[in-house]
């Protein structure tokens, strides 16, 4: 993903193309449709930037995003609470990625249902629980129903490994 110019270029092109995709919210209830569109407009970062983070699943096999909410109470000094709207309703603050390399372990219940991701990240390196009922999990391919899916680049590893060794010998 980061060690091959061709793979990096292809992933970059995929990101650029997918960031330009337009999406529509369609609902029979026009008021609900307007509210959801407003929530998308009010998120930080933009939906296009969110899509770039989602596409990290191509290299890792998965991307987990925590859904963070806020009250739509207008401008605030805290950018995580600031809103373009003042209706007092609850909307999305962001869908923040939880870095793949911060994964400590997955938490499963007694029936083998995925409950949470346990994350260990800077600056405190304490273990933090991110419940799946507040998360969005993206996988390019569901592999053995693992939350980690299967990276699209996995099949290219052998060819990359051999190419790298030929380059090193040259």
Q: For 117-159, write each residue's pLDDT tens digit.
A: 999 988 899 999 999 999 999 999 888 889 999 888 878 778 8
Rounded CA separation 46/39 (Å) = 11
Report the interhelical angle of 47-54 vs 5-19 (nearest 10°): 150
Positions of the chain with pLDDT lower than 50, given as ranges: none
Give the closest residue to 52 by CA, choosing from 14, 109, 99, 92: 14
């Amino acid at each position: 993903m980061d060690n091959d110019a061709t793979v990096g270029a292809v992933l970059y092109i995929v990101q650029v193309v997918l960031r330009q995709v337009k999406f529509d919210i369609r609902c029979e209830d026009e008021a609900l449709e307007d509210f959801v569109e407003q929530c998308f407009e009010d998120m930080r970062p933009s939906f296009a930037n969110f899509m770039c983070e989602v596409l990290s699943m191509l290299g890792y096999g998965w991307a987990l995003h925590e859904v963070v909410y806020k009250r739509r109470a207008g401008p605030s000094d805290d950018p995580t609470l600031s809103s373009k709207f003042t209706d007092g309703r609850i909307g999305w603050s962001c869908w923040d990625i939880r870095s793949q390399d911060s994964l400590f372990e997955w938490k499963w219940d007694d029936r083998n249902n995925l409950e949470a991701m346990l994350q260990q990240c800077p600056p405190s390196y304490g273990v933090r629980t991110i419940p799946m009922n507040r998360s969005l999990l993206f996988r390019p391919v569901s592999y053995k129903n693992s939350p980690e899916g299967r990276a699209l680049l996995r099949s290219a590893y052998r060819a990359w490994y051999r190419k790298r060794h030929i380059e090193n010998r040259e």
